[in-house]
Each structure stands twice: as structure tokens, then as C-alpha cells.
Copies of this chain bind each other. A is one copy, B any other.
């Protein structure tokens, strides 16, 4: 097992320097890191080939192999992404408010980095550069623990980034990779209180659950999305069709895809046969409750388990409800707090849905697929928070910051 406390201390030391570094200097570091990644592309691709070879030997599934794969184009994409981060405004150092108290104390609240951020993720080497860039831009040191299947790619990329920083005279320990991929080290990492200010898991439901269960450092829970579309009685059914089709099929493996459809009883007969036809274009399997199967007998039968399921596949569960209130209750019972949408022409139902549905993003007449840092205009995304603490919904640079109170006195003591 690696000496995690030593890694933590090095990150902490780097974070004190990064925390007061001006934006210009941080952008220099990002440029140097990007140029090193771009210039040493061949070295990264060779390391990635080794990862792919080992993964194929282990019989890794095609989808996972694709996530692991780097190509010259993908590396250029990563480098372009870093250039976009350079262009973003640096939120650190902003003073959010400054007020004089009756006793003369001037109390300001200043935006500061979190300090040391830990990222635990799967075998997706693009996350390595991405997470570094966002953490570094916000003055945080980052400790990365990527999936073991990408270890060679990650080593190569982190070595490039560290060399780029070193050339600028910026502490290399701004980014560190945990190269020991054992479970003991992962658990130790999740319990590195006193060094890690926050841990962000990025990956599937299993990874996130494990981090939530085992961590003693503060965690930002990201990701899983059991997202619903509710088609109200008054919905424009052409619009509803487009939205369900888009939310279900535009990309199936993502957390903001629609997994479950609720339809008002009075719209079911007009809507469900058309929906079935439309979704057949993409061979979507629909698993319906009894009422919906009475309308379209070809639907498969849904079980209780289907209502809580994130399929990430060409499968959709479907249930008929009697009212917007029943839809809201169902969603609040089974959702994961990610993204929910109502299709309606009713002002009252739209407002009620927006008010009462408990989720990070609640839509009227739009696809759930928009829940994303770029679509929301943040210019970046470190993940999508499904918890309510600290950050909720797509997380841009601000989610990687904290605040501190700065207080100017002239000798005040408490009476």
C-alpha cells in the first residue's frame, strides 16, 4: 500500500501555493501541460495500446474498450478542452459580499479553492486531463485514482502534465496519480481525512455507491439518473413524442437519458400507439404497467423493480397515472434526484411540477438531455451532483470552490 499520507501532504503543500496563485500564472501552467500532452502524443498512445491489449486479453466489453481508447483525434480533443478551460473566468479571489457590522468589523466573504480534491473514476483516460484542468484552474491540488485498466495511459498523461507544470516552475504535486490500484489503497484514499477536502466519484452506480459507503471525507455524489418524462393530459403530443424520443434515444448510456415515462390516463390512447411506432425506429423495448398494456398489448410487462431502474439501454418503463399529483408522487418515490420533465400546456400543472418535483433539474416542455454543464452555459463540467449539499445539478468551476470569511478590525473584542 502506498503512503497515502505522504501523497496527501504533498498535495496539501502544493495547494497552499496554488491557492494564492494568480490566474495568469495558472493559465500558463495549463498551456504548458496541454502542449506537453499534445507534443508527447505518441508516448501516450503507446501506453494506451498497452492498456487496450491487456483489456482485450481480459475480455473487456466493446463499450468499455471504446471508453478506454485514445486516438490522435481524442488527444487533440482533450487539448482543445484544456484550452477552453484557460478561457473561462477564474472565480478564485472574488469577494462575494463585504459588510460593516455595528461594532466596526468589516466582514467579507471571499471565494477560495477547496484545497485538495480527490477524484475516483473508471478506466476513462480523458477524465485524467479534464479533472486536472478544472481543479487546477480553481487553485486546487488534485489526487487522481483512475480505473486500473487505464493505469498506463494515466501514468503517461500525468507524467506529461507534471512535466509541463515543472517547466513553468509550478509545483508538480498539483496533480498526483495513485498508481497502486489495490482495494486497500482505494479505501485508505476514501478515509484520508485531514488531507482530502472532498472526494468526487465519477462513474457508474457501483463505483458511486462504494465511495458513499466507505468514505469518511466529504463526498459529492454524482451521476446516476433515473429520469422521467411525464406527458400531461393537456400535452402537445407532437412535442411529447419528440421529447420522449430525444430523451430516450439520443444517447442511451448517459445519466440524463429518460428511463421512465408517465402518461396521463386521458392522453394514453392518443399517445401510446404513436409512441410505440416512433420508438420502434430504434428498437426500444417498452415495459408497461397493466393500464398501458391495455392500450398497447405489445408492451412487455413492467415489474415493481422497473420503476427504480437506470437501464442505460434501449429500454423504457411506462406507467399510466391519473393526475399530475400522482406523477409527482411516483417521481419523488422512484427518482434519483437528477432530471425530470413535464410536457404540458397547463400553466397550473407546469408550476406544480416545477415546485414539487424533488430533483436537481426540473423541466417544462424540454428534453432531460440538457442537464449538462456545457448546455447550462458553465463552459465546463466536473460532474452532475445528485445530492443537495454544496452543489446540485451540473457542476462547473464554482463547485470546486469554497469561501472564507475575511474580517478587518481595529482592536475589537467581544463584550
Binds B, one of A52-60, A210-218, A269-277, A292-300: A210-218
A362 at the interface (CB under 8 A from B): yes
> Which residues of chain A from 158 to 207 have a CB within 8 Å of any chain B CB?
193, 197-198
Query: Which chain B positions have C-beta within 8 A of A365?
Result: 408-412
| Copies of this protein chain in the complex | 2
Query: Which chain B positions have C-beta within 8 A of A367?
Result: 412-414
> Is the contact region of chain A dominated by helix, strand, or loop, or is it mixed?
mixed
Convert A337-369 into 0s and 1s, putting 1 for each residue whose CB lies closer than 8 angstroms to a CB of B: 000000000000000001110111111111101
User: Which B-chain residue is minimally distant from A110 (CB atoms)?
Assistant: B354
Q: How far is the CB of A85 from chain B (nearest CB, A)?
A: 20
User: Which B-chain residue is minimally distant from A351 (CB atoms)?
Assistant: B406
Q: How far is the CB of A40 from chain B (nearest CB, A)?
A: 34
A332 at the interface (CB under 8 A from B): yes
Q: Are B239 and A198 in contact (CB under 8 A)?
A: no
Q: Are B404 and A364 in contact (CB under 8 A)?
A: no
If A388-B115, A389-B402 touch, does A407 touch B246 (CB 8 Å cutoff)? no
Convert A375-415 into 0s and 1s, putting 1 for each residue whose CB lies closer than 8 angstroms to a CB of B: 11100000000011110110000000011111111111110
Determine the distance from Cα of A405 to Cα of B367 in the docked complex, in whole angstroms.
14
Q: Are B370 and A407 in contact (CB under 8 A)?
A: yes
Determine the distance from Cα of A105 to Cα of B236 in the docked complex, in whole angstroms.
18
A16 at the interface (CB under 8 A from B): yes
> Which residues of chain A from 78 to 124 have a CB within 8 Å of any chain B CB?
99, 101, 105, 107, 114-115
Question: Which residue of B99, B212, B360, B411 contacts A216 across the interface (Cβ within 8 Å)?
Answer: B212
Convert A243-257 into 0s and 1s, putting 1 for each residue whose CB lies closer than 8 angstroms to a CB of B: 101110010000000
List 26 contacting pairs A-B, 8 Å CB cutoff, sorted by A.
A16-B332, A19-B358, A20-B356, A101-B375, A107-B376, A107-B377, A114-B388, A115-B388, A197-B388, A198-B388, A213-B216, A242-B411, A246-B413, A247-B413, A354-B406, A358-B404, A360-B404, A361-B404, A362-B404, A362-B405, A363-B407, A363-B409, A364-B407, A365-B409, A366-B412, A393-B403
Residue ranges of A at the interface with B (Cβ–Cβ < 8 Å): 16, 19-20, 99, 101, 105, 107, 114-115, 193, 197-198, 212-213, 216, 218-221, 236, 239, 242-243, 245-247, 250, 332, 354-356, 358-367, 369-371, 375-377, 387-390, 392-393, 402-414
